Homo-oligomer: A and B are copies of this chain.
Amino acid sequence: LQALENIQLDLEAVNIKAGKAFLRLKRKFIQMRRPFLERRDLIIRHIPGFWVKAFLNHPKISILINRRDEDIFRYLTNLQVQDLRHISMGYKMKLYFQTNPYFTNMVIVKEFQRNRSGRLVSHSTPIRWHRGQEPQARRHRNQDTNHSFFIWFSNHSLPEADRIAEIIKNDLWVNPLRYYMMGEGVVRSWASERQTLERPSCFRFWIQ
């Protein structure tokens, strides 16, 4: 058993080294992507309605966006998905909004990270709805709000199985242009051709 314990200590040392090396590599690529992402941000901000179009054109996200969400998304000016730099796994998505008649937040954030026991947990900015605009208050009037981007946003019941978060992080955010373009008649064939290409597995490294 003593020999076994010594091996465990050796393994633990390797694991600590591995943890540090992976974190270093993750930070290096965050750094490498930054200038491109900043330029992308800048360009997108000059294309009105870019994000609402990209969201609505995504076949797996659009089903979550009801007509009222769509109205709200017209005030969406920016989306950012960021790795948490200080830990091995974790990220947050930030949605920036213009002043709008629905809620007072200018930015809402949903964050995913592992807690101490290794379980994935999520939390999000409480949305400060204007009076009468809360999805709950509106539900009895309009069944359409039963599926809603904002209900998903504020739901933290099963983050491990949160497909929507994964798609936003690993697909929409990785190449929003692809989805923005999907509506354009001229480039439709080009876009759909690109879309059917097998997505390289490296996309999953976007956010480690």
Interface residues of A (CB under 8 A from B): 1, 3-5, 7-8, 10-12, 14-22, 25, 29, 32-33, 36-37, 39-40, 43-44, 47, 87-89, 114, 116-119, 158, 160-161, 163, 166-167, 170-171, 174-175, 177-178, 181, 198-206, 208
Quick check: B161 and A15 within 8 Å, CB to CB? no
Q: Say yes or no: A1 contacts B177, CB within 8 Å.
A: yes
Q: Is the CB of B1 within 8 A of A118?
A: no
Could you say which residues of chain B place their CB within 8 Å of the CB of A37?
Answer: 11
CB <8 Å contact, A18 and B205: yes
* Chain B positions within 8 Å of A8 at CB level: 40, 175, 177-178
- Is there an interface contact between A202 and B19, defined as CB atoms closer than 8 Å? yes
The reply to whether B177 and A40 contact each other, CB–CB distance below 8 Å, is no
B residues in contact with A177, CB < 8 Å: 1, 4-5, 8
Q: What is the interface of chain A mostly: helix, strand, loop, or mixed? A: helix
Q: A163-B119, A202-B88 are in contact. Are A10 and B36 (CB under 8 A)?
A: yes
Once the chains bind, are B202 and A18 in contact (CB under 8 Å)?
Answer: yes
What is the minimal beta-carbon distance from A115 to any residue of chain B, in angstroms? 11
Question: Hey, which chain B residues are within 8 Å of A7, CB to CB?
Answer: 36, 39-40, 43
Would you give the shortest CB distance from A98 to chain B, in whole angstroms?
A: 21
**Copies of this chain in its oligomeric complex:** 2
Q: Decide if B88 touches A201 in the complex (CB within 8 Å).
A: yes
Count chain B CB atoms within 10 A of each CB in A10, A20, A118 and give the residue with the most: A118
Closest residue of B by beta carbon distance from A114: B204
Shortest Cβ distance from A29 into B: residue? B18
Q: Answer whether A4 and B40 are a contact pair too, CB < 8 Å, given A160-B161, A204-B88.
A: yes
Contact A29 B36 (CB under 8 A): no
Asked whether B36 lies within 8 Å of A11 as measured between CB atoms, the reply is: yes
CA distance A96 to B117 in the complex (A): 28
- Residue on B nearest A160 in the bound complex, by CB: B161
- CB-based contact A171/B118 at 8 Å: yes
Contact between chains at B19 and A22 (CB < 8 Å): no
